[in-house]
Structure 1
Amino acid sequence: MPPSRSSRSSLQSVDLRALDYLTTPSANLLCPICHSPLITPVQTRCLHTFCSACLSLSLDRSLTCPIDRQPLSHDEVTPAPIMIANLVNDLPVLCPNHELGCGESCARWLVESHVREDCGYAVVKCVKEGCSGVVERREADAGCLHGEIECEYCNDAVRLADLESHLRECPKVSSECPHCLQSLPNSELVDHIPECPEAIVDCQASCYGCSHTSPRLEIGAHETNCHFVALTPVLQFHAERISTLELENKAIRQKLDLLVPPRPLATPAAAASTTAQPNQVNAASSSSSIVTTTGRDMTSEMQDYTFHLYSEYEQLRSDVERLNAQIRELDVKQDMARINEGLRYNDEMTGMRAAIDGLRMQLHWLLANRREVGSTGSPAAAGTTGRSVAGTASAGDARRMSVDSARQVVKL
């Protein structure tokens, strides 16, 4: 007796990150790293919640919190509160095999047991002893599908599991085209259907509003006279321009949100609940007053938000003006410092120039005195017979000493 359907455990593993959720999860239940619903949530000492695997991988690269960049180690990570894990595990998800045809949905904590025990599209081991193949659970009761049989049309050996797909492609099997009803081999039918002249197709300007459909053989005559086809370049240009403007608008909105965080506006229901008076007599008058009060609240909220933007702008402008004034003041101080330094250098250059001129005058005087001493007369010296030779020698020595001392002064 073959094992029951529920007793055959699936060989398929479930990737919780690849699941499709029936509802959009709350932003508070998303991991800041992988941006998916939390899986085995953990909490840091700075009260931030992450997936256990995501945070472990992040700490292996850098020992800091991924959000506030504070120092963080593996020992400072603890399991998140059980309430957070329960909220995430109770999210409804589709079966991982929903693309194959399974329409079941369940809570996330039940999806693994569903695939392992109940899903008809999960992969299980073949029931035949000695067969190492796998089949879908819904086909396991039909017996082993891994044996080969001979195709009755082309006499090729085909596995039982592949027989259906083989018959769709077998060159010996013919099928009718669903459009022109022409019988063609399956191998040619695959290429014929996309080009069949009897196939009903839409106008190429259907995306711009043309609703005409006709056989492919006649669609050319329509597109020749179609106004939408004639306007396609203009409409395409406007569509591209609109998409560009939407991207620019999105970028500007993101920059504005970074500069000034958006403030939530009061909803009509909340405003009505806060403005409704408990002791109102007339229901019609109360409803009208709620509507008007709600309108005023929303208008005042928008005015407050606009005033906040203006105040932020004025503050930024005042900061810029203050910085400009400080820069100008620094420029003036720098110019004055350069002028004072230049004046000091000029005074020093003037003193050095006066000292050089004084040295030059002394040198000229010494040179002139030496010429005068050297040119004094041999006639006057010859007529003075009363002078002795010793006196003459002493006078010459005195002049030589004075000249040497003068040279030393010049060198200094």
Structure 2
Amino acid sequence: MSLYNYVYTPNSNLICCICRAPFTDPTTTRTCAHTFCRECILRSLSHSPLCPVDRSPLTTADLSPANPIVRSLVDELLVECIHQPEGCEHTCQRQTIPLHLKDECEYAEVVCMVAGCRETMRRKALQEHVEKVHDKEDEAEQVEAADEEEGDGAEAYSCPHEKVGCPYKGPLKPSEHLTSCPYESLKDFITSNTTKMALLTEQNVMLRHRVDVLESTVQIMRREMAQVKSALGPWSRSSSELPLALQAASAGPSSREEDALAAYFPEGSGARQGTGTLEDTILGLRESVVGLAAGVDQMGRRSEMALANETLRLGEEMMSIRGQMHGLRMQMHGMMMERNGVEYGRVGNTGLGGSITKL
């Protein structure tokens, strides 16, 4: 998996679908022509002998190096130096990073090449180390050589506790000097103290590492909280930070007019406080929605009852109208029958009168 920070967003075709980073040692499958980082695909095959993309059977024998063009494309991606957090601002192609770290980077760890010194430090501190330590050692050696030439040839001994601060350097042998050395009586304390200091130093390094990890975690959490607040909008802020329109909408019952839905939005403790957590706000909203749902259900039932009553009333009115229409129809039928009877009577009388006239 690549640990580089890329200057520009890499092409999606150069991203490994397993580690989601640009290919490192790209490897292509012969069976399905999919490309992965070699380390990633080997780790995947150790868990399951299937291609991570299409789940087809796959073994290590089916792997081969990717096309040289793909290797060139990923090697030519611009990356930042791995010591960028320490201050190195160098950017170059990914394939030249090892040369930069080996020969140029001022923040890379190097070993002092002076004979007898294997101390590790950053490259930018190497010259200062040589000047302060080894140049002074050379001067001290020259002074000692001069003193030996000027002296009477007597051999000078150093105290075994020289490392902890004893300045003695003279003709007495260490065994003779230790009888009067003030550090000899403290050697047990010095040993235990040195052990404790080493342990404390190690713990301090571990604690610093943990603090760095925690700081990075806090930074990630702050960014995530900022994203959550941005997504939540006004729900993530107190009422004093809300816009005027939302402040008016969230005011108590004494500062707003009564409306038809006020009974379904009871005032809770969270609504009376100036600030509240998101959980309290969501709980208040849930209670309001439950009340509103109950109100809507009650209003629906009332509407159904009113509709049923109105339907019955309209049915009764329709039956009454039908009865009236039936009565009118019967009256019209009687009138028509009466009229037809009169007409038939007239026709009969007219026929009878004509017969009498002929006679």
- Bigger relative contact order (CA 8 A; separation at least 6): 1
Establish whether TM, by shorter chain, passes 0.5.
Answer: no
TM-score tier by shorter-chain length is 0.3 to 0.5
TM-score normalized by structure 2? 0.38
TM-score (normalised: structure 1) = 0.33
More helix by share: 2
